[in-house]
Amino acid sequence: MSRYARQMILPEVGDAGQEKLAAAHVLVIGAGGLAASALPLMAGAGVGRITIVDGDRIERSNLHRQTLFTERDEGLPKAEVAAARCTAINGDIAVEAVVATLTPAVASVMVEEPNLVLDCADSYAVSYTLSDVCFAQNVPLITGSALAFSGYAAGVCGGAPSLRAIFPEAPQNAASCASAGVLGPVVAMIGTLQAQMALSCLIGLSPSPLGQMVQYDATTLRSASFRFDGAAEPAQAFPFVSPDMLESGDTIVELRDADEAAIPAHPNARRIDPAKLKETLPANGTGRLALCCATGLRAWRAAESATEFWPGEIVLVAASAS
């Protein structure tokens, strides 16, 4: 009996759906908690090619939610261990590990070939970068986020509105699982939702998960869902760039002081307090303004105020995501 018999018996899948999965190439950014649930499900379902990108190594503090790993894996590259687990689940598929951090400089190239991208990164700078690239290249993106007791999964781009259409403004804070905490089952729920949305998209189920968001609250054990097919793209967006994408004509500002970042994100950066940008930078400055900080949040908020006096393009550099 085929290993896929139990899903192929579904009229919505059948031979045609299974062939679509076998022919698919999915790019997974991040091999942590969200991917710990999503990856085995996609490998088991027979997604023909999976590329896993993650530059981090496994830490003991990851294990409560990153259940694809064991204590023996501590210190090993997440992408490589995750790829080995997926291959062990299904030896008929091709799984590639890329031990690297996704940056704006390489995102466009990485997204060119896959049929679908899965955003399992714990970084909103990475999520917005993926959304910008996928939207431009018309590639479906299944993005997800989990923090504390809640999270969401959404299908964006690929003909649907982008992540910026749902969240056009800067996040309220830069909290992450490391700083704010999260329960393992919450992460697993969101990762499982991402896998379901990805498989639905690849098979071509209707209604499409693209243009839909699902939110989950573990404190009430309730979920909510809504569609955003008609959401408008924001009139103004500040793209994320890597330090190596900055040019000699750019005005580069490091918003972190020397105590927070002894080495600026770029050697040509000037250190300026975010509250003193207007009085320090030239009025009606020309060229591109690049604002740098750790996560990109301060840079985003500073960019919003800088539009009052800087007429040119404003870009953001998130040092922790580079």
- Amino acid identity for residue 316 in this structure: L
| Phi, psi at 14, each rounded to 5° | 60, -165
3-class DSSP state for residue 226? strand
Ramachandran region, residue 213 (left: φ > 0; alpha: ψ -120 to 50; beta: rest)? beta
Strand order across the beta sheet in which 314-318 lies? 270-271, 251-254, 289-293, 314-318
The distance of Cα 291 from the centroid of its chain, to the nearest Å, equals 21
Length of the chain (residues) = 322
| Rounded-to-integer distance, Cα 53 and Cα 50, Å | 10
Q: Which two tokens stand for residue 101?
A: 């951090």
**Could you give the C-alpha distances from 204 to 17, 20, 92, in angstroms and in order?**
8, 9, 22
Cross-strand pairs, 134: none
Half-sphere exposure of 267 (CA within 13 A, CB side): 2
Asked if residues 260 and 295 have their Cβ atoms less than 8 Å apart, the reply is no
Which positions are annotated as active-site residues? 177
Q: Which helix (H) or strand (E) holds 1?
A: none
Q: Which two tokens stand for residue 1?
A: 């009996």
Cα-only R_g, the chain: 20
Q: What is the DSSP string of 173-220?
A: ----HHHH-B-HHHHHHHHHHHHHHHHHHHHT-SS-SBTEEEEEETTT
